[in-house]
């Protein structure tokens, strides 16, 4: 994680979850992450309506030039990246892992921004995939904030975080080419022949 807000939120999330895969939403105290609050957001993950912002920090809203509360998370993304983002959110919710990703965006005037996205699962009233907490922040403060806004953002590299990483890799993408799944392993055709 490159940005201090991402590191602060992840450290707090990791401490609050203890031995469980994810902390309960009610266990997150905003005052404990005050340095990252402007870059932090919470998503609801309702299968009927899709992921929506429950809360969004002021710096996150400023990147897009509007209040994000109640907005669909996927509509921040360029149309080509929306299916991948939906899949990523499903993986985070079902496999209870976090993700840190590189994100890039442009304004209508052509200003570019490199961002860091952190998404972490939260339990809500006993349900594993009902909420997510995250950070979306510019790696270098953009000079255009307040005068322009990001139009559509693009997903870059991904890295998963969370419990069980040593033994289980989440299914971020479907296997390419002919393959067969056996007991959690993916077997690819090809390689050495006997």
Q: How confident is the model at residue 90 (pLDDT cuts 50, 70, 90)?
A: confident
Contact 173, 155 (CB under 8 A): no
Q: Which of these, 174, 186, 171, 32, lies nearest to 97 by C-alpha position?
A: 171
Number of H helices and E strands in the chain, helices first, is 3, 8
Mean pLDDT across the chain: 82
The 10 Å Cβ neighbour count of residue 89 is 21
Note the pLDDT of residue 186.
55
Q: Which stretches of 4-136 are DSSP H helices?
A: 4-17, 58-64, 82-95
Question: Tokens 């959110």 map to which residue?
Answer: 89
Which of the two residues, 179 and 73, has the higher pLDDT score?
A: 73
Contact 114, 140 (CB under 8 A): yes
Domain boundaries, the chain: 4-168
Burial class (CB in 10 A: 0-12, 13-18, 19+), 136: buried
| pLDDT tens digits along 103-125 | 999 999 999 999 999 999 888 76
Instruction: Please tell us whether the domain made up of 4-168 is placed in CATH 3.30.450.20.
Output: yes
Averaged over 158-182, what is the pLDDT?
50
Contact 113, 150 (CB under 8 A): yes
Averaged over 1-20, what is the pLDDT?
86
**Helix (H, G, I), strand (E, B), or coil: what is residue 107?**
strand
Note the pLDDT of residue 178.
46
Measured distance CA(175)–CA(182) in Å, rounded: 13
| pLDDT tens digits along 65-82 | 999 999 999 999 999 999
Note the pLDDT of residue 93.
82
């Amino acid at each position: 994680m490159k940005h201090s807000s991402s590191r602060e939120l992840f450290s707090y999330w990791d401490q609050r979850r203890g031995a469980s895969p994810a902390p309960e939403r009610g266990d997150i105290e905003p005052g404990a992450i005050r340095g990252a609050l402007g870059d932090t957001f919470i998503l609801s993950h309702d299968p009927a309506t899709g992921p929506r912002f429950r809360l969004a920090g002021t710096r996150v809203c400023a990147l897009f030039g509007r209040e994000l509360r109640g907005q669909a998370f996927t509509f921040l993304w360029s149309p080509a990246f929306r299916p991948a983002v939906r899949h990523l959110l499903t993986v985070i919710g079902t496999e209870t892992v976090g993700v840190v990703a590189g994100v890039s965006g442009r304004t209508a005037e052509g200003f570019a921004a490199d961002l860091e996205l952190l998404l972490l699962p939260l339990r809500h009233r006993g349900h594993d995939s009902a909420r997510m907490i995250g950070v979306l922040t510019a790696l270098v403060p953009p000079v255009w904030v307040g005068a322009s806004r990001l139009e559509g953002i693009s997903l870059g590299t991904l890295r998963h975080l969370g419990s069980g990483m040593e033994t289980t890799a989440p299914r971020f993408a479907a296997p390419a080419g002919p393959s067969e799944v056996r007991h959690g392993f993916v077997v690819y055709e090809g390689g050495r022949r006997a």
